[in-house]
Amino acid sequence: MICDKCQRQATYSRKYSGETLCSECFSNSILHKAAKTISKYKMIKNDEVVCVAVSGGKDSLVLLDVLNKMSKTHNFTLFAVTIDEGIPGYRDEALKIVESFCAQLKIQHKVFSYKKLFDLTLEESLQLRNDQKPSSCSICGTFRRRALDHAAKSINADVIATGHNLDDFLQTFLINTLSGDTTKIGWMDPDTSSNKLRKIKPLSEIYESEIVFYAFTNNLPFQTEPCPHMDEGIRTEIREFLNLLESNHNGIKNNMYGSVLKISQFIKKANHKEKRNCSVCGNECSGNVCSVCKMITRLTSE
């Protein structure tokens, strides 16, 4: 197999486009795709501070690597943050990987924990539930959004960048659809330009399988051990379902991505509400009480 672009030995075959690429041309194509997504949604502006959420998994380390390469020719500053959920034995290995990768790239790094912010680790929250409800990931996701907002504000960042890839995006859409949560589909619109603190996902147009290949071919370190709660929700089943569809119909994930973009924009417009402030904690929210305060009340009153 020969690379379509430079005639060297190819290492990657991109089934949905029919291209075969060598490692270098493949990596350049990923940088190019991420740059295109960033420019399409004006995700990063000159002189901004970008708070990069780095968990230690492949997506966030690829994101940090890609943004670091772009920052050499563009005018923005990176600051890495890691959220420590308090999952015994899981986050420690990831933290070491992130610390050493940030030191190698000379990027500042800070850790923020659920325990400090909410006075509850994820594990302690799970002990407080009745009947396994709410799910681990729904508690964790609610807390993580707030923890990232807090982290970004405390380092004076303009933008929060997360490593969500195209597969994550499609899975989230199906999870929200299957649970009937159409409001959250509206949140998926990548245009966050009207928000004070913009949330960006520069890898959202890249397949997960390509993120994995980029990490391997660029020798990036990453944590391979999954979170012990990963298989409790429906996400793993949906991931397998979408992968099966893609293996039978190359490019179907790209098609679906285009549809989800349109649906999320439509729902966001239809659901538009003026932002208010939570009557308990004062953070911005759409109702009287924010989702974090509701979650903490639910857990601690059960």
Binding residue ranges for ATP = 53-55, 59, 83, 163, 168
Residue 227 binding target from Zn ion, ligand SF4, none, CB below 5 to 8 Å by type:
ligand SF4
Give the phi and the psi of residue 20 in degrees, each rounded to 5.
-120, 135
Measured distance CA(148)–CA(144) in Å, rounded: 6
Cβ-contact 57, 222 below 8 angstroms: yes
| Interaction between residue 293 and Zn ion (CB under 5 A) | yes
Give me 80's structure tokens: 């890495």
- Per the listing, tokens 């030191």 go with 103
| Interaction between residue 189 and ligand SF4 (CB under 6 A) | no
Residue 97 binding target from ligand SF4, Zn ion, none, CB below 5 to 8 Å by type:
none
| Interaction between residue 299 and ligand SF4 (CB under 6 A) | no
Q: Which of residues 263-282 bind Zn ion (CB under 5 A)?
A: 278, 280-281
Give me 286's structure tokens: 């759409």
Give the phi and the psi of residue 111 in degrees, each rounded to 5.
-110, 140
Q: Which of residues 126-165 bind ligand SF4 (CB under 6 A)?
A: 136-137, 140-141
Nearer to Zn ion, 185 or 290 (CB): 290
Residue from 120, 229, 242, 296 touching ligand SF4 (CB under 6 A): that is: 229
Residue 281 binding target from Zn ion, ligand SF4, none, CB below 5 to 8 Å by type:
Zn ion
Span near Zn ion by CB under 5 A; candidates 56-64, 105-113, 141-149, 286-294: 286-294
Binding-site positions for Zn(2+): 3, 6, 22, 25, 278, 281, 290, 293
Alpha helix segments (H runs only) across the chain: 23-40, 58-71, 91-105, 114-118, 122-128, 136-154, 166-178, 182-186, 208-217, 235-248, 252-270, 291-300
Burial grade of 131 (CB within 10 A; 0-12, 13-18, 19 or more): exposed
Least distance in angstroms from the C-beta of 160 to ligand SF4? 16
| Interaction between residue 227 and ligand SF4 (CB under 6 A) | yes
Of the candidates 174, 182, 189, the one whose C-alpha atom is nearest the C-alpha of residue 239 is 174
Least distance in angstroms from the C-beta of 141 to ligand SF4? 5
Number of residues that bind ligand SF4 (CB under 6 A): 8
Nearer to Zn ion, 125 or 223 (CB): 125
What does the DSSP 8-state code read for residue 9?
B
**H or E element, residue 285:** strand 284-285
Interface ranges with ligand SF4 (CB under 6 A)? 85, 136-137, 140-141, 227, 229-230
Interface ranges with Zn ion (CB under 5 A)? 278, 280-281, 290, 293
